[in-house]
Structure 1
């Protein structure tokens, strides 16, 4: 997987037609939940090769080393799938402090790259809290390139026509996080999923300023089809909680951390 989210140009593996690249035509909606959480590590390593923008011998070796470190670590936890091993590790509650402790900077970088590939492949689904607290260079962009890429491109087009680049990108990040955490097809996301996301942002002391735009563009491409066209209308009908979200949309800030530090990041 490219560090800055560049697109893989290697062909899609015939073993896994759900793995998309931007160069190939694809349906607007691709069902998630592909069972990779129980796949053998060797098969996952082969699938990960499609994430490389430049599949040179060196890059393949670096990727395999990164995945090997993460696989070896996760296999130390007794569970039948990679997601449960991730949860048993306790790392989901640690944000940027996840994984084995006392690692060198180089080894930590390998672990981060390996886990990023597993997130893009939908093998591991961290919580919102973990995603908010972790620095994932290129992972969100890579996820959009390799999962429902056509639909994400439509969302980006709608977002870019309504807001500045930074706000549009964060609206896409909102929907990307929701897809990662829920494992759902984008068009299957509902008001309850938005409520869960808003609640997680509130709990972390971060803003939800990008949530209305995320709602608008998802509705515009055919999502939330049983819901009003805007988030404010959904709120007016009492269809979206928690109540704090109503206040935050007026003031722009969902809340502040319990430690008293200022809220950070759009969201």
Structure 2
């Protein structure tokens, strides 16, 4: 399967190195403990250094008397192919850290997993006049990251998948990159997130928000007119009120 389309590269000149890279990565995985490719991946320790994973395979090559300089250039692309083909599912943390080149991951995942789904996401993004091109690219990247970690196709992405990725990116990168609302909107228009999903990200983030009464009760105010006054004020401010309590 890995030597045939859609895993095979379109560029015939690059395919031999790509194929050798896949064989090398699979040989490395076979040396790891476990019964499945996924178990071996998890046992290898390659995710611990995050984006700095290459020395793990370099060390293995050195231990086997193989020249890393000749073989490592093919390792990244080969690994991306194995992930896109759903042979491996890295953690969201590892992916969010930028361990896989994201442009390459998007192209590989789209080609192997669901060309029509990714093309539809692009078309939806292009049809929105208020959406900038970088945010469309970011949406495609986020879609590829989720599929790499969870499997499936874009239409199978859930609200939970989206929120997990956002939280992980914020924690790993120490910031939240732009385009989160665009990504959610495109997925909703694609038909992902399931029927009952809120139409926008703001509604999702407001789910489970305390009622005005619950919020005021946290402060144990004993004089009844005061809590009633505050509750009335907060109700007037809905739905846009937020809390940091």
TM-score (norm 2): 0.71
Give the structure 2 partner of residue 79 of structure 1: 34
* CA deviation string 1:124-164 (max 9, x = no partner): 11122222332415222121122121121111111123312
Cα separation, 2, equivalents of 1:86 and 1:148: 24
Tell me the SS of whatever aligns to 2:3: helix
Indicate the RMSD between aligned Cα atoms, in angstroms: 2.1
Tell me the SS of whatever aligns to 1:80: coil
- Of residues 134, 143, 153, the one that matches 2:119 is 153
Q: 1:208, CA displacement in angstroms?
A: 4.0
C-alpha spacing 1:215/1:193, structure 2 compared with 1 (3 Å)? same
Q: Is the 8 A contact 1:189 1:223 kept in 2?
A: yes
Q: Structure 1, unaligned stretches of length 5 or more?
A: 1-43, 240-267
Tell me the SS of whatever aligns to 2:87: coil
Give the structure 2 partner of residue 134 of structure 1: 99
Tell me the SS of whatever aligns to 1:194: helix
Q: Structure 2, unaligned stretches of length 5 or more?
A: 62-67, 210-245
**TM superposition outliers: structure 1 runs of 4+ over 4 Å:** none
Q: Which has the higher contact order (CA 8 A, sep 6+)?
A: 1
1:123 aligns with 2:87: yes
- Of residues 173, 176, 182, the one that matches 2:141 is 173
Q: Is the 8 A contact 1:212 1:231 kept in 2?
A: yes
- Of residues 183, 193, 214, the one that matches 1:214 is 183
Cα separation, 2, equivalents of 1:152 and 1:113: 20
| Bigger Cα Rg | 2
TM-score (norm 1): 0.66
C-alpha spacing 1:126/1:229, structure 2 compared with 1 (3 Å)? same
